[in-house]
Chain A
Amino acid sequence: MKALLLRDLRLAIRSGGGFGLGLAFFFLLAILVPLGVGPEGGTLGRIAPGILWVGALLACLLSLDRIFALDFEDGSLDLLATAPIPLEAVVALKALAHWLVTGLPLTLLAPGLGVLLNLPPAGYGWLVLSLLLGTPALSVIGAFGAALVVGLRRGGLLLSLLVLPLYVPTLIFGAEVVRRGTEGMALATPLALMAGISLGAAALLPFAAAAALRVNLR
């Protein structure tokens, strides 16, 4: 099983693997938004939590269709389905690999971009914590969506439409944690709900995704 994780990480990092695409998008967004919103610092600081969370979510979305589509095209998915590791574990490992090359770097990059967006100092810790707890849900939900559309040519549009509504709760609670953090309000509830979404998605969706893959491979 470790071999599958290492292979996916290696493929993502080697040329053409798509690593960096999401990060570059996130980076560009955080540079362009201050230019678009204008120099008024107060507005920017107020919308910074939302912008950072929307940026992280869209950056995650960019690379979702690669989770299974590439393996489907070159036949690896058929072979993985007949391999001795359960398909549920394949899904979970691929979601983990996706998080390690998108969610985790986004989380680490976010504080730097918070400076560009004039995020109040109290928010940085909560920003990192909320992304750390929330981005795993984005990868797992995304893997489920990618499993649903795996047989379709250019399924990216359908994938975005399917996955976006499922991303909404994570976005709402994630941005809420950071907003409340910057204003010094109580934030245990949104934080717990977001962690709950991540844990629930990680526990249940690999099974749903594996079932979808089995149907799509027929």
Chain B
Amino acid sequence: MQIVVDNLAVARGGVTVLQGVSFAVRPGQALILRGPNGSGKTTLLRTLAGLQPPVGGTMDLAPEAAAYGAHADGLKSTLTVRENLAFWAAIHGTDGVEAAMTGMDVASLAHRRASELSAGQKRRLGLARLLVTGRPVWLLDEPTVSLDVASVTLFAGVVRQHLAGGGLAIIATHVDLGLPEAAELDLTPYRARILARDGFDEAFA
């Protein structure tokens, strides 16, 4: 299981935002995506997750191997922490809800409804969801938003454990995760120039 991306081009809303992206991630490795806001990090991750097709190039990554962690955590506010995790575990046919809760330090909140959690606690629950998917490839979009310093360290430990078990991770982030061993990829050189459209003729074609 490895990810090989070659000369990939991705588009958002019909406009190509990145082109010529090439990298390879092997088991046990993490890749940190860097780039200013709007540079296409989310679009690249959604493409890798199989939510949208690439507009060019090739990528070697089975969609069923990837667990996608987006800005939104996919939590139901009227379900408890345990119910939320148990649902995703059942969908992915895994168990390990308790281990996931311990891993992201939400075990003490197990009976609380997600609506009663703080933003950081919700994020930890959202990241605990990755653990119950049982999938080898983690595609994470700004996973540390609203986490405090201690939680970022906890999260880095969880990622390191995932990598040690032969997992892979591609993480888009602006902060220092404390993963010095991870490779970094700056997306700025791959940004597609947005060309001015030639008139409105296309709309009437």
Contact = CB atoms under 8 A, between A and B. Distances in A.
A contact patch SS: helix
Contacts of B71: 75
A50 to B, nearest CB: 37
Contact of B74 (A4, A14, A74): A74
B51 A76 contact: no
B93 A84 contact: yes
Contacts of A217: 51-52
Given A78-B51, A79-B88, A83-B91, A7 B72 contact: no
Q: What range describes how many residues of B lie at the interface? A: 20 to 34
B73 A4 contact: no
Q: For B51, B63, B77, B79, which residue has the most chain A Cβ atoms within 10 angstroms?
A: B51
Interface in A1-34: 2-4, 7, 10-11, 14-17
Interface in A89-116: none
B87 interface: yes
A218 interface: yes
B79 A11 contact: yes
A10 B76 CA distance: 11
Contacts, number: 69
B181 interface: no
B67 A3 contact: no
Contacts of B75: 74, 76
A163 interface: no
A78 B76 contact: no
A54 interface: no
B127 to A, nearest CB: 13
Given A14-B78, A75-B71, A82-B67, A3 B51 contact: no
Contacts of B8: none
B76 A79 contact: no
Interface in B21-75: 46, 49-53, 63-64, 66-68, 70-75
Contacts of B64: 84
A212 interface: no
B74 A79 contact: yes
A172 interface: no
Q: Which 4 A-B pairs have the closest CB atoms?
A: A75-B72, A3-B90, A76-B74, A218-B52
Interface of B: 46, 49-53, 63-64, 66-68, 70-79, 83, 86-88, 90-93, 129
